[in-house]
Every structure is written in C-alpha cells, then in structure tokens.
Amino acid sequence: MTDQNESLPLQESDANKQGDHGNTQSMESLLQTENVNVDMPQAGEIRTGTVAGVSSSQILVSVGAKSEGVISGKELDQLSPEEREMFKVGAEIPVYVVNPEDDNGNVVLSFRRAKEQLSWDNVEKMLEEDRTYESNIVGFNKGGLIVLVGGLRGFVPSSQIGAMRRAQSTGDTPEQRWQKMIGQPISVRIVEVDRERRRLILSERAASTESRQSLKERVIEELEVGKIYSGRVTSLASFGAFVNVNGADGLVHLSEIAWDRVQHPKEVLEVGQEVKVKVINIDREKKRIGLSLRALADDPWKSRVEKFSVGQLVEGVITRLTKFGAFARLEGDIEGLIHISEMADHRIDHPKEVLKEGEVHTLRIIRIDEEQHRIGLSLRKVNSGAYADRDYKKLIEEYGHSESEPEEGEIPAE
C-alpha cells in the first residue's frame, strides 16, 4: 500500500511535467504562428505607413511590425511646408525601410528616400510612355538648364533646348545665357534615366517634336529654292550651322558658310545672329532644308582664275603628293591637281617617282571647272604637239611678232 501511495505524487509530478512541456510547445507554436502572420519590413522596401506620433526628435510610424518605425526628426527640416502638413497623427505616408532593426530594436525609416525612389519609378514610367512633363526652370550650369521633375533635378543639355529659347540665350558666360530663364515654364520629355548614377536627362526639343514637325512641313511648302530669306542662327556644330527661317531650322553646311576655308562655323557665326540665307535645296520627303550664306557673296575664286585659260602654260609649286596625283600652287594661291596619269608618258606607280614637294615646274592647264573650283594640270603635255599652235600664238602675243617674220624695212634673209 505504502508503495502504491508513494507512487501517486510521482505520477502527479510527471503529469505536471508533461503539462508544462505541452504548454511550452503550445507557446512556441503560437509565437511561430504570430511571426508568420507579422509582415516584417525588409531593407530597401517602400511601405505605406500611418503616422503614430510627431516630436522634434522623431516621427513614429506604424508599418505593420511589432514595434513602430522611426523617422529622424532631421528630415522635417528638409521638407517643404506642404510636405510637413502630411505629418499628422493618423495620416498615411510612404516610407523607405533603411534598417529593419537597429541596436535599439527600432525599424529605421525615411520619408525623403521613399519619395525619391518613387520619383525614380515615376520618371522611368514616363520614359516608357514617352510622356511630356510641365515644369519650371530652377537653375543652370555651363552646359544647360536644371528642371525639377517630381522632386528630382533633371538636366536639359543646350542641344536639347528648344529653338526659340536657344535664340534668346545670347552671351559669353552661362550667367548671361541662362540666368534670365530661371522661373520660366518649360515642357520636357525624359530621354535618359540612370538611377544608379542619379542621371536624369531631359529634352525640350523632344517635347515639342509634333508641333515642330507640323510647323516645318508648312514652312517647307512655303519656301522656294533660289529665294533669299532672313533667319536667326539657332545652333552651331562642327559640320555646319542651323538657321531658323520662318519657324523651321535649315542647315547651312560648313562648305556653304563662306567661299574661304572655314574650320568651324564659330569662326564666322554666333548663336542668335541675324543672317540672310539662300535656299539651295529642299528634301520634302526627309523634311530637310539646305541653306547657303556664301551663295549671297561674290565668288573670289572666279575672279582669281580669270587670268587662266585651258591650254595655258603656268609655273606651279608642288605642295602635296598623294597616291592619285600631286597638288601644285599657282599664281594667286590657287591650287590645281596633276593627276598621276598626267605626269609622264610612261606608267608610274606613285607621283614621288616624278615629283617632289617644293619643286617648281612648268605645267599645262588642261581643265578649269568653275562650279567645283578645280583646275586640272598636266606635266606630260607641256611639250605636247597638240598645243604647239596655241603656244606659238601665245608667244606672238607676248613679244608682238614672230622672229621668222621681218619687221618693216628689214630685208629678209635668203
């Protein structure tokens, strides 16, 4: 009996132990279930939170975690008055999870970074949809204008600024060109987004493409080849200058700027300059307008070449050798080409077999092309019999008589 009685407490103790163990398992299961149901924030995540409290040192925001998240009070100083109005208890705001749990067990949040990330999402979507954005110019640098797009600072390079605005950008310094434009409204389109490099490139020209194209089509229909128009230089490039005529840009190619050799349009022109141009061609299919400045000036080459004629013998200084021929400078700094086929009666592989740079040679003019500004020269035809009669007459003109003909009163030799 005693053994049986003594064994009862042991059985109760075991039951209690089993009960405690069962309670422990139930609590662990409950905690695991709660952890599964609690949507823990992740670093880099953007959430919609509810403002739970605001003080000068921090803003408490409920984001669904077991504890409230914290935004540093310093962010309030970086916000506009309109944005600060959003921070009222019960208001919903976007937040960026900086750290799911700091040393104090708090979820560290940022409103400013959430807004910035959402702005990048927005501009990427705008780029995909090719949307136009209305904004204002807030600044500038030496390369162009600064425009705000949804809280981000975008850059409009000078090449992407509209023609009318570029026409107003006169001056030698960025301040002179752009300062007066701060505060002006502007329509832009996103042309490049690089979130990692924080690079946002905008274009005013792209935003007005449709209106510009329709305007250009109308202007092209009105312009006439051969006519002269007034225009304004809108931009300069290494290959030429763009001039706005009646609202549409036409190209003055580098070769059409002046009769003399021009290395870059800036040697002759500047943006904003008023000029007279001649329409030399119109490509209606490609919507291109070809303009010329030099067509309005006398061709100095023609006046310099008047003294020369085909068949004439001239002296020339060899200036350059190429595989196809040699260039010679004639009187008046006019260059002519001696083609390799005009150097000798026999076949040669390279002009250096016959000529050297700096040598002076008597040459025969065999061709003058006024349109292309080219003079063809020949070395092998200097003593050609085909020109003997012409050379004889030229000699008579220079000396006034033939040595074989007796002057008046002279008795001819028998």
pLDDT in tens, 172-212: 888 888 898 999 999 898 888 888 888 899 988 878 755 56
pLDDT tens-digit map of 221-239: 889 999 999 988 888 888 8
Mean pLDDT on 333-359: 92
Q: Per mean pLDDT, which of 110-114, 128-132, 207-211, 394-398 is the most reliable?
A: 110-114
Which residues pair with residue 289 across a beta bridge? 282
Looking at per-residue confidence, does 378 or 400 come out higher?
A: 378
Residues 89 and 54: beta-carbon distance below 8 Å: yes
Q: Which among 225, 347, 221 is positioned nearest to 291, based on CA atoms?
A: 225
Looking at per-residue confidence, does 106 or 70 come out higher?
A: 70
Query: How many CB atoms sit inside 10 A of residue 40's CB?
Result: 14
Residues 377 and 334: beta-carbon distance below 8 Å: no
pTM: 0.41
Residue ranges, comma separated, of all CATH 2.40.50.140 domains in the chain are 46-114, 130-207, 218-296, 301-399
CATH number of 218-296: 2.40.50.140
Looking at per-residue confidence, does 8 or 226 come out higher?
A: 226
Half-sphere exposure of 40 (CA within 13 A, CB side): 10
Look at residue 100 in the predicted model and tell me its pLDDT. 82
Q: Residue 5: is its pLDDT beyond 50?
A: no
List strand residue ranges (DSSP E) for 111-246, in order.
Answer: 132-141, 144-149, 152-157, 185-194, 199-203, 228-237, 240-245
Mean pLDDT on 145-173: 86
Helix (H) or strand (E) run with residue 376 in it = strand 374-378
Domain 46-114: which CATH number of 2.40.50.140, 2.60.120.380, 3.50.50.60, 3.30.460.80? 2.40.50.140
Class of domain 301-399: mainly beta
CATH number of 130-207: 2.40.50.140
Look at residue 314 in the predicted model and tell me its pLDDT. 92
Q: What is the mean pLDDT of the chain?
A: 81
Q: Residue 4: is its pLDDT beyond 80?
A: no
Q: Residue 271: is its pLDDT beyond 70?
A: yes
Give the pair of three-digit tokens for residue 250.
């036409």
